[in-house]
Amino acid sequence: MKKIHCIGCGAEVPDIDGPTHKYLGASPGCWNIYGDILAKEYGDPDYMKVHRLTVDAYSLQHLGEESPQTIQSMNLHLMALCAAIEHGIKYDFIPKIMNNRLKEYKNKGVFSWLNPPPLLGIITVVEVARAQTTQEHTKIVEAWAQEIWGLWSDHHETVEAYLKDVI
């Protein structure tokens, strides 16, 4: 099968026709691999333990074009990574934080476009999909999330400010 580089993460993925997300910037082959990973995580509680990190890392690696939805998504996923990585917040509590911030900030124009890092990471869904065990999957997803969070270091202070009174 012919391969191409994903328009979002740059990973070598199958060159297929198919659906993609309405505002994330991903090639159909990459989006398909991500869907397979999500199915694995939803289907097994051991894989699901890192699901939040999978969603955040993938979304930040595939931002797409600047738009109100993308700006909101970018900021919320950065807040989720910050909460998990910097503050040790349990993954199942993070959606509550994100929902509270979204309700509070959505119509106030608080979120702004944060210039993405020039490199969006070396770890991609391709590496995650290669994992053979739950332990390997967990290790790769955690490394992926750490890598993505680290690449956004220019904006850590901004993200921390969004979370200052909820963490």
pLDDT tens per residue across span 50-65: 999 999 999 999 999 9
Q: Is-contact 26 34, C-beta < 8 A?
A: yes
Confidence tier at 107 by pLDDT (50, 70, 90): low
CA pair distance 34, 61, nearest whole angstrom: 12
**Rounded to whole angstroms, how far apart are CA atoms 27 and 20?**
7
- Range of lowest pLDDT (16-25, 119-128, 158-167): 158-167
CA distance 99 to 79: 11
Cα separations in angstroms, 99 against 61, 102, 132: 21, 5, 33
By percentage, how much of the chain surpasses pLDDT 70? 98
Q: Give residue 101's pLDDT.
A: 78
